[in-house]
Chain A
Amino acid sequence: MKHLIKILFLFGPMMCLNISCSTLEEDTSSLLQVGVISTEADIKANIAPIYRSVLNTNNDPHYLRCATYGADDITTWVAGNKAPLRVFDRFDYGSGENSDINWLNVAWDNYWNTIYVCNTLIEGLKTSTAPENLVKLADGEARVFRAHAYLNLVKIYGNVPILLDGYLPTGDEQRATVVENYKQIESDLLIAENSLPAPGTEDTGRVSAGFAKTVLADLYLTWAGWPVKDQSKYSLAATKAKEIIDYGYYTLLPLDQLWTFDGAMSKETIFSVRVPSDESKWVNQATAFTFHQGRGFSDCFPELRFFYDFPEGPRKDYTFLLDIPNRGVKDGAMFDKTPATIPWQDSDRAHPMYRKYVYSENLTVFIRPVNFRPVELYRYAEVLLIYAEAQARLGENSSSIEALNEVKRRAAGLPYNVANGTVDVASATPNEIVDEKGWELAAENKRWFDLVRTERVAEMAAKRDPSEPVTLVRMPTEAQYIAPIPAQSINNSKLLQNPEGFKIN
């Protein structure tokens, strides 16, 4: 018995320790709750991931644009690892095939991630105790990016399900119609354009009402074209674009400033996403648009026909690079080989490169050319051309012609706001304006959507240069206007793949 007492003394405390330890509850004090927004700092912390998601979306142009290679302004390497890009360059899709290829999902995933982050913020703001003006502003920012993401999804993949703030997944989601998508996007943008500050008054790096109106103008222009073809939207597009012009804030930069670092944060910039100034992160525009010979990835370069047809002039010189950089790498740094450049005809891809994306490249921080230049989602030149085209479809007027001429004057290296008889036109057809937009915004991820909207994909494909190494599987039809929905989302939901799931009205 004495032993027992001793034992109890020995092990009793251990048992007590056991009992006191074993609450079996997780210590959740290290977890941050989502959607609790009470201070200005909370708001900013919840907005940051929205912008970050937009940056991620635009970080790698070749991924983002995978489904848009059918456009005549870009093509890719005939060999190497570019098979997914060639699927779209060759129109090897349209009946649901090739939904499981690499990179097709990148744009899809990134845009939906933006929507998820925006939805969470919009929901959290409903119960926020932060000052009302800040809540309104944050709500507007979340809505404009949500709308922008939805608009791009519909443009690339066709109609998509609508998941908004406060939504919980059920597994039964279906794709809305294109029109339903447009209406929802419009409703967000109409709120956002009133919530956001006028251009020039926004905080550094943030969006203004100018961005909301531009997305809205883009939406209306798209709405008026294929597939909905609601012609009444042209006037809304024109009105909205004119409102932006009438801010009187935006300008066109001289060509020699446009593709500089500052050019992407200028008064021509409607909105651009940025990387940190400590150079700890960069974007891959220069890598994607440079050939392997220049230490790039040869993802994206102009089709020969597009290059040949591009009107001569200063803009062409700033758009294309004809002397292809010839670089090597050694001891963790790039160096110029001899010769430092090679004529494009003799280069490893036998095409010119896009100069605009390597104009302000950085060649020292990495063993490939990279960019610290912010990435524009819209430039003022696009607004002018949206206005010019939309108004031309309604009946052109002096201000719409002036908008077109401003772009043409700058393209010729002239002051954009001074009339010039050698460049100015008195009239232009909508297609002429669309082509002008193609040249002005060459390789800026706009051309494909303009061709689809105006149903001119086949027209351009027919003009393809016969010496283009990537050859077409078929002549494109409407079936190629939208990309297959990435397989992961089809497999894990009840969404119907294109073309069965494509519903316009």
Chain B
Amino acid sequence: MKKTKLMIKQVIMICLIVCGVTTLSGQNIVQGNVTSSDGQPIPGVNILVKGTTQGAATDFDGNYAISASPDDILVFSFVGYKTQEQVVGDRQTINVVLQEDATSLSEVVVIGYGTAKRSDLTGALTSVSSKDFDKQPLNNVSQALQGRAAGVQVTQNSGAPGSGFKIRIRGANSITGGNEPLYVIDGQFADINTINVNDIQSMEVLKDASSTAIYGTRGANGVILITTKSGRSGKPKFNVNVFTGISNVTQKLDLLSAAEFAEGVNFSEGSEVFSAQEIADLRANGGEDWQKRLFQTAYFNNVQLSASGGNDNTDYYISGNYYETGGTIVDHQRFKRLNLRSNLNIKLSEKIKAGLNFNVGQDKTTGERADLGVGLAWDPTTPAFDENGDYNFASNLATSDTNPLVAAENNVLVNTRDRISINGNFNWDILDNLVFNTSGGITKRDIHNNRYQPLISLPGGRADVDNIYGTNLYNTNRLTYTPNIGENHSLKIDAIHEIVIDKSNGAYITATDFFTDLVTYKDVSAANVQTVANDESNRELESFLGRVNYALLDKYLFTASFRADGSSVFQKEKWGYFPSASIAWKASEEEFLKAVDAINNLKLRVSYGEVGNQGVKVFDTRSKGTLGLGVDYPFNGIYTRGVAPSILLANPDLTWEKTKQINAGFDLGLFNSAINLSFDYYKKNTTDLLLFVPLASFYGPEGYFDNAGEVENNGFEVTLDTRILQNEDWNIKSTLSISANKSKVLALNDDLQSQSYGSQIRESTFPVSPSVVQVGQPISSFRGYVFEGVYQLGEEAEAAIYGKVPGQAKYKDINGDGIISTDDITIIGNGSPDYTWGWNWDISFKNWNLNFLMTGSHGNDIYNLQRARLMALGAKQFHAVYGDYRNRWTPTNPSDIPSGRDGTEILSSQFVEDGSYVTMKNIALSYNVDKNFLNKLGLDGIRLYASVENLFILTKYSGFDPEATASVSNQDTDTGIDYNSYPLNRSFTFGINVNF
């Protein structure tokens, strides 16, 4: 709780004016302590004797002293809290508890290239403050965002330690151009994974085009601005936060027992592979439970230390974080993250301020996890180990893959990501109304991926060593002019120039045919064959921006911006121009609404803007010769280097993708902001998509990038903040956010009606992609045959038309031509939800706090191709291991589960399921140790807490979980496909947070 308070204070310190001295005589000295409703002292509270200029302020422990006479009334005020008055009377000690003022209208929020008062915003912006999430133990930014910001869909796409997540703001615009939002950390463009979530002060999500147009070619997917914590003047404050916990997968799948599997093999082969005796023995012994082998309990620890403080001219925030976790899928894997941050602000003179932020970190992943897809699919009749305790390497009954434990327990993998980022800013008030601000920074990121597959795992062994170095440089110069144009008008003009340079180079070594395992990847000279590849890329973006904010009578707000972006990745049309405009009307400032007590805030907003996306890679517009081992040929036993024609066709005319967005919304505050409601409706049309056009394979090149097609997204967002109860003992708040988005492809290149995009699973498993992009449908549509059950006895004649017999799958003959061909493939599902929601409750009672977040997703389908594989479909599986196979069709069991070997399609509606869910994402209970007790120890605060992540998931989905396992890749065209993904975990965490 102390931590929460600290953050609030930090925000407030920005506007804090420390008051003067009290110089009165003949009066009593009144003293006391000012705390917030959760018992934390509030420093800097103004105490004024009403009707006078006599005042005082609380110190860092919330204590004050002031001279006052018994008739005086003391006024306690502090930004962000409700002002309170106390009659002195004969009291000498007056302790005050200030109630939070839920209207955060005066709060200053970060916007693109600057800050603004929340009440002055004209666009659609959602803030997530650290106080929204700091009661829950987090190790990842996605956890802080998930369910807390309307319009932001966060999907954890794997339960693997340190793994990624997918963030989409208002749906996906682009089919192949990338839909990742732009992340800006303290003004510096950055990778979201580089930030320590515990250093975050606040996050602002810019959603509508008027907010994001200022980011031009990079703004189309929305922008997330992250502000890290800073210190405030006063004595040093230390914070120690330690938590530890355990994780397990949320649930297991229903797989066949060894005996059931053996019976299935006999059935499928039509011969007695297992004798009756063998089956009886398996029934008695049980065989191998691979899920038991593969899943384990993981332990994690997190330590966060921070120190902050400062004086009138300097403030600092220093933090260190160490997070370590194991994985829930077998052994030998650890993920460690180290992070060090130092934020420093210096006031060089009355007019000049400078700041320097420094962030260093390392992520380290060790150990290779078992291939879960193989592991689940493995033969349950073959134990993992033989009677001597050695591996049973192979079984050819379920899959021909090697025992999944071999790689997991023997392969060596060490991946590190080092990063250093430094950014500085310099702010100069040239004149009273003219400010010059320049900032610049460098981010360096080194990626080292090392892997060694020892001889036991792969004959000859193999080492892979990748070293990739990236550098990002940026410089932004801003001039802000705020001329005084009269009492009723306010005007602010920003002019900005910016340049961003990204460079990277990498070297990739592969070594095979080792004579020893001893040196692993560390000395590839031990290998007989070594190959090296490298690459280099460089991209530049230069921009000129302008923005005008105008307010009339502080009621009518107008913002217009314009950005010109030049990008090096395009050849001819380098420059793009992105205008935006928005207006807002503070209706609650009008006389006719001022009279309505219930309404304390009503603001109507409308905006329009155009933004862009330059999401192609360096050289994507060019064709180039293909080099590498894959095109070399050994005429005389030794490779001759080859050069093959380009995989990509050139398109020198390629230019940015454009998104036009309109947004209309309102913010309503009722009963002194006890209820705050925000509503936004938007419609986005993305044209000139950066569309990768795959060519029919007979052409040779795989395809090219083109500006073609159109995608529309529209939807609405609701955020409802309510303060349900607030008094000395109780404080109950809830925030509900609901997002609904509908996406629709309006056109593709030329007159094409549908297009398949490669997914990472496609290559090895499916001849055609399970997903399709089709005009009139959402981007993430599933394609397949319509499954209509199984041909039953008595349906022989109908079955014969399609060359089938009873027991085989029945598919809908859509065009009625008497054959089941690709013409009968249709859209059978959609991976995108109709709407998602998050509901956060924060309940404090005295020293206790209960904070929980529920999230939900509705209307999304999941293509459960994992189940299809386990039912023995696809190129990898020989025999079924999935529980459904018990109920396979036989003449005496007329079920709807096909049992024929042939003619069962993996891509069919048989494997499409409803993926809707409701989950208790996180629930945390914390206790603040009593202040009086702490004072004796000389501590400011101790909070003890326990939390559970993913306590329950309510869903009909039959896979591990409907969130992570339905995210086979980050591509939006693959949304909702479950294939060999790492399931979510249920984690129990215990922690302590100490302030002193």
Q: Please, how many angstroms separate the alpha-carbon atoms of A270 and B624 in the complex?
A: 34
Q: For the complex, is B21 an interface residue (Cβ under 8 Å from A)?
A: no
B623 near A109 (CB under 8 angstroms)? no
Known: A81-B876, A97-B821, A366-B459. A160 touches B645 (CB 8 A): no
Chain B residues with CB below 8 A from A276, complex form: 634, 637-639
Report whether B268 and A79 are in contact in the complex, using a CB–CB cutoff of 8 Å.
yes
Interface check A328, CB cutoff 8 A: yes
Is B823 in contact with chain A by the CB < 8 A criterion? yes
Question: Chain A residues with Cβ under 8 A from B697's Cβ?
Answer: 105, 108-109, 112-113, 486, 488-489
Q: Is A277 an interface residue (CB 8 A)?
A: yes
Residue of B nearest to A110 (CB): B697
Contacting pair B700 A86 (CB below 8 A): no
Pairwise interchain contact A90-B902, C-beta atoms closer than 8 A: yes
Among A15-63, those with CB < 8 Å from B are: 15, 18, 21-28, 30-35, 44-49, 51-53, 55
Q: Is the CB of A332 within 8 A of B875?
A: no
Question: Does B269 belong to the interface (CB within 8 Å)?
Answer: yes
Q: Which chain B residue lies CB-closest to A46?
A: B643
Chain B residues contacting A92 (CB-CB under 8 Å) are 803, 902-903
Q: Is the CB of A46 within 8 A of B642?
A: yes
Which residue from B512, B698, B817, B873 sits with its C-beta under 8 Å from A489? B698
Task: Tell me if A340 counts as interface (CB < 8 A to partner B).
Answer: no
Closest B residue to A205 by beta carbon equals B635
B447 within 8 A of A: no
A203 to B630, CA, bound (A): 22
The verdict on A102 contacting B568 (CB below 8 Å), with A18-B497, A31-B622, A160-B698 known, is no
Contacting residues, chain B, for A99 (C-beta < 8 A): 821-822
Q: Which residues of B contact A105 (CB under 8 A)?
A: 697, 767
Question: Which residue in chain B gives the minimum CB-CB distance to A104?
Answer: B767
User: Given A79-B879, A488-B697, A34 and B430 touching (CB < 8 A)?
Assistant: no
Q: Chain A residues near B633 (CB, 8 Å)? A: 47-49, 51-52, 55, 205, 274
Q: Mark A108-120, 1 if CB is under 8 A from B, else 0.
A: 1100110111011
Report the Cα distance A292→B273, complex, angstroms. 14
B755 partner residues in chain A, CB cutoff 8 A: 491-492
Q: Are A45 and B803 in touch, CB under 8 angstroms? A: no
For the complex, what is the distance from the CA of A495 to the CA of B393, rounded to whole Å? 47
**For A33, what are the chain B residues with a Cβ–Cβ distance below 8 Å?**
624-625
Check B822 against A45 for contact (C-beta < 8 Å). no
Which chain A residues in 206-222 approach chain B with CB under 8 Å?
A: 206
Most A-side CB within 10 Å, residue of B542, B697, B821 = B697
CA distance A497 to B817 in the complex (A): 15
Interface residues of A in 53-108 (CB under 8 A from B): 53, 55, 78-81, 83-84, 86-87, 90, 92, 95-105, 108
* Complex-state Cα separation, A365 to B528, whole angstroms: 13
Give the complex CA separation of A161 and B803 in angstroms: 31
A333 CA to B700 CA, complexed, in Å: 39
Q: Are A205 and B767 in contact (CB under 8 A)?
A: no
Please tell me which stretch of B42-50, B145-153, B450-458, B946-954 contacts chain A, meaning at least 4 of its Cβ atoms lie within 8 angstroms of it.
Answer: B450-458
Q: Which residues of A contact B750 (CB under 8 A)?
A: 171
A297: Cβ under 8 A from any B Cβ: yes
- On whether the beta carbons of B699 and A116 are closer than 8 Å, the reply is yes
B128 smallest CB distance to A (angstroms): 33
Are B631 and A49 in touch, CB under 8 angstroms?
A: yes
Chain-B contact segment, one of A3-11, A243-251, A412-420: A3-11
Interface string of A171-188 (1 = CB under 8 A from B): 101000000000000000
For A49, list chain B residues within 8 Å (CB): 626, 631, 633, 642-645
Least CB distance from A490 to B in Å reads 7
Alpha-carbon gap, A113 to B699, bound state (A) = 8
For the complex, give the distance between the alpha carbons of A491 and B902 in Å.
24
- The answer to whether B625 touches A31, judged by C-beta atoms less than 8 angstroms apart, is yes
Q: Looking across the interface, which residue of chain A has its beta carbon closest to that of B349? A: A3
A3, A34, A81: the one within 8 Å of B428 (CB): A3
CB pair B878 A119 closer than 8 Å: no
Contacts A97-B820, A297-B400, A367-B402; A7 near B698 (Cβ below 8 A): no
Q: How many residues of A contact B (CB 8 A)?
A: 107
Cβ contact of A275, chosen from B396, B497, B634, cutoff 8 A:
B634
- For residue A46, give the distance in angstroms from its CB to the closest CB of chain B: 6
Q: Say yes or no: is A132 at the interface (Cβ < 8 Å to chain B).
A: no
**C-alpha spacing A204/B693, complex, angstroms:** 40
Closest-CB distance, A239 to chain B (whole angstroms): 31
Q: Does B929 contact A (CB under 8 A)?
A: no
Contact for B499 among A4, A21, A495, CB less than 8 A: A21
Write out the residue numbers on chain B whose beta carbons fall within 8 Å of the beta carbon of A7: 428, 436
Q: Report the bound CA distance from A350 to B271 in whole Å.
A: 11
CB distance from A170 to the nearest CB of B (A): 10
Q: Which residues of A contact B430 (CB under 8 A)?
A: 3-4
Give the total number of A-B pairs whose CB atoms are below 8 A apart.
Answer: 287
B970 CB–A CB distance under 8 Å: no
* Residue contact B542 to A332, C-beta cutoff 8 Å: no
- Verify B642–A52 contact, CB threshold 8 A: yes
Report if B394 contacts A (CB, 8 A): yes
* Bound-state Cα–Cα, A280 to B512, Å: 8
CB distance from B775 to the nearest CB of A (A): 14
Which B residues lie within 8 Å of A81 (CB)? Answer: 874-878
- Establish whether residues A328 and B645, one from each chain, have CB atoms under 8 Å apart when the complex forms: no
Query: In the complex, what distance in Å separates the CA atom of A216 from the CA atom of B767?
Result: 33
Give the chain A neighbours of B566 by CB distance below 8 A.
Answer: 22, 24
Docked-complex contact A34 and B459, CB < 8 angstroms:
no
Who on chain A is nearest to B825 by CB? A100
Tell me whether A309 is interfacial, beta carbon within 8 Å: no
- Bound-state CA distance A206–B454 (Å) is 37
Q: Determine which residue in A79, A109, A119 has the highest number of CB atoms from chain B within 10 A of its CB, and name it.
A: A79
Q: Are A34 and B646 in contact (CB under 8 A)?
A: yes
Task: Report if B819 contacts A (CB, 8 A).
Answer: yes
| A332 close to B456 (CB less than 8 A) | yes
Is A329 interfacial (CB 8 A cutoff)?
Answer: yes
Q: Does B30 contact A (CB under 8 A)?
A: no
* 8 A Cβ contacts from B627-663 to A: 627, 630-646, 649
A278 to B636, CA, bound (A): 11
- What are the residues of chain A within 8 A of B632 when measuring CB–CB? 48, 52
Question: Is A228 close to B, CB under 8 A?
Answer: no
B residues near A173, Cβ cutoff 8 Å: 698
- Chain B residues contacting A112 (CB-CB under 8 Å) are 697-700
Do A328 and B458 form a contact, CB below 8 Å, given A46-B643, A100-B767? no
Q: Which residue of A lies closest to B756 (CB)?
A: A491
On whether A117 and B393 interact (CB within 8 A), knowing A22-B540, A81-B877, A492-B694, the answer reads: no
Candidates B513, B635, B820; contact of A206 at CB < 8 Å: B635
Q: How far is the CA of A21 from the CA of B825 in the complex (A)?
A: 52
B444 within 8 A of A: no
Which of chain B's residues have a CB closer than 8 A to the CB of A426?
none
Given contacts A95-B819, A109-B697, A276-B634, A102 and B875 within 8 Å (CB-CB): yes
Q: Mark A478-504, 1 if CB is under 8 A from B, else 0.
A: 000000001111111101010000000
User: How far apart sit A279 and B459, CA to CA, in the bound complex (Å)?
Assistant: 12
Q: How far is the CA of A109 from the CA of B402 in the complex (A)?
A: 29
B residues 542-572 with Cβ under 8 Å of A?
Answer: 542, 566-569, 571
List the B side residues contacting A277 at CB < 8 Å. Answer: 634, 637-638
**Which single member of A101, A169, A297, A332 contacts B459 (CB below 8 Å)?**
A332
**Residues of A contacting B641 in the complex (Cβ-Cβ under 8 angstroms):** 45, 48
A425 at the interface (CB under 8 A from B): no
Contact B767 A486 (CB under 8 A): yes
The answer to the question of B593 belonging to the interface, with a C-beta cut-off of 8 Å to chain A, is: no
A sample of 12 inter-chain contacts (CB < 8 A) reads A24-B574, A30-B536, A46-B642, A48-B632, A48-B642, A49-B642, A116-B699, A117-B700, A160-B698, A297-B400, A469-B271, A491-B696
The 5 closest A-B pairs by CB, nearest first: A116-B700, A48-B642, A277-B637, A32-B625, A205-B635
Contacts beyond the supplied A83-B873, A119-B700: 16 A-B pairs with Cβ under 8 Å:
A3-B428, A26-B619, A28-B619, A28-B622, A48-B635, A52-B631, A53-B644, A79-B878, A115-B700, A205-B634, A276-B634, A278-B528, A333-B459, A491-B754, A491-B756, A493-B698
